[in-house]
Amino acid sequence: MSNCPRLPAEIVREILFLLELPVEEDWEGFYPLDLLACSLVCTTWYHEANALLASQKNPLSTVFDGHAYTTPNIMRLASLLVESHRLGLKYHEKINVFHINTACLIDDQSLYDHHREAAIFAILSLPLLNLHNLILDVKDLPPPATPAFFHISLFFTRSQPLLTTITRFRLTTDLTDTPSPTLHTLVSTLAPSLDVLMLDVAALPPPLYNALALCNHLTQAQLINALATDAALLLGAWPDLRRFRLKFSNPGDMDPLVWALAYACHHLTDIEIRANHRGNREHHVSSAALRVLLERSRRRITRLVLYSTQIDEVTMPDLLRYCPHLRHLELRWCTGVTGASLVNGRLAEREVWWSEMRDLSLKDCSGLEHGFLRKVATACPRLGTLVLDTRVNRQHENVEFLTRERYRLMGPPVGAWKRSP
């Protein structure tokens, strides 16, 4: 740090307060970097600037979140982190998320920017002991025959030994063919240590599928825009999953996915399946597949979200039998649910249904019986939020009863009832 005469802390504090954020979109590229630079002046400036950095909820925790990919910003951050490390400061240890977008490696002339690459490698070469989360966006790659494509492939190869602490990985790509052999090599390198995986992919080429199949220790997986059949094939390689989420799946038969969850993943506590084809019942999860999943869950499920399934009154009692510890249940576009099988069947005699239920969402279940609502409100003692279809909310007897039970309608567009303490 500098040996220049030190200003009083009060004056330094006033100077730093003048570093207001002039443009909101430039938050990452201006304010934290200026504070970081000021903190290197001397110990007084360090303490004052570091206090403001801490008040920003650790702005250095995520490097390059997708807003400021200009070469000056990337190079400036790299030089400041390297210099702070040389001075014995540990700003680099605050980094726990690294976001790499391949688009940031291409300049305005569609050429590979070696300065940006060097800056990224300078940061990754620091002892990033708390870097556990990698976000990789691989979109709009240059044509395979171009030098830029070659350098991006080389970038994936060179980054592998610098990412040994990664346990959470998110990959986003819009490519359906194999984009680069080295990308799959990178995934293969990360796979053995991954605990959490998020995929936003349109398809799984064989090399990428083979790399993902090496993630044998996953406990959480979220797939977005993936084919249900592709996801089903991978589940056999992920036996330790506790949480599985599939969002906005492309049209396809959903039952193989549910069968795979039932027979391959025996530790699931959180399941979310959001199909994106509610109008085509041919692709919905069948009630038979759901019954097997619930039966084989071994009473472990605490959170269940199902969109566009064929769950019906035959399946509803299974939710109570095999998922007694549910805390969150959300059924969306499940039009066959009325609650009659629970109210009129043998299970109606139970004083308590789901003793740990906090949130119950039955939006778009327009045929719910009033008796079911009465039983839910009294047999779920910890229920705090109840989301119902608009048509159910309009029925006078439902409104009157829920109001008497200390529920208050929060209003459109959600239509959620909140229970008062």
pLDDT at site 405:
92
Average pLDDT of 98-119? 87
* pLDDT tens per residue across span 287-346: 899 999 999 998 999 999 998 777 888 889 999 999 999 999 999 888 888 999 988 878
Pairwise CA distance, residues 136 & 101, whole Å: 6
Average pLDDT of 182-208? 91
Q: What is the pTM of this model?
A: 0.87
Q: Which of 47-56, 80-89, 322-331, 393-402 has the lowest mean pLDDT?
A: 47-56
For residue 178, pLDDT beyond 60: no
Average pLDDT of 146-158? 91
Classify residue 109 as exposed, middle or buried by CB count within 10 Å of its CB (0-12, 13-18, 19+).
exposed
For residue 62, pLDDT beyond 80: no
C-alpha distances in angstroms, 13 versus 17, 21, 44, 324? 6, 16, 9, 56
Answer with the residue of higher pLDDT: 20 or 333. Answer: 333
For residue 179, pLDDT beyond 80: no
Pairwise CA distance, residues 165 & 266, whole Å: 28
pLDDT at site 412:
66
Answer with the residue of higher pLDDT: 189 or 102. Answer: 189
Average pLDDT of 21-25? 45
- Ordered DSSP codes for 113-165: -HHHHHHHHHHHTS--TT--EEEEEE-SPPPTTSHHHHHHHHHHHHHGGG-TT
For residue 24, pLDDT beyond 80: no
Average pLDDT of 14-43? 67
Q: Which of 175-189, 209-223, 275-289 has the lowest mean pLDDT?
A: 275-289
| pLDDT averaged over every residue in the chain | 85
Average pLDDT of 214-221? 96
pLDDT at site 25:
43
The answer to whether 416 touches 386, Cβ cutoff 8 Å, is yes
Average pLDDT of 372-398? 92
359 - beta bridge partners?
A: 328, 385
pLDDT at site 28:
44
pLDDT at site 23:
42
Pairwise CA distance, residues 261 & 267, whole Å: 10
Average pLDDT of 184-204? 92
Average pLDDT of 378-405? 92
pLDDT at site 361:
94
Average pLDDT of 33-52? 83
For residue 91, pLDDT beyond 70: yes
* pLDDT tens per residue across span 46-58: 888 888 777 666 6
pLDDT at site 17:
75
Pairwise CA distance, residues 168 & 311, whole Å: 33
For residue 27, pLDDT beyond 50: no
pLDDT at site 327:
97
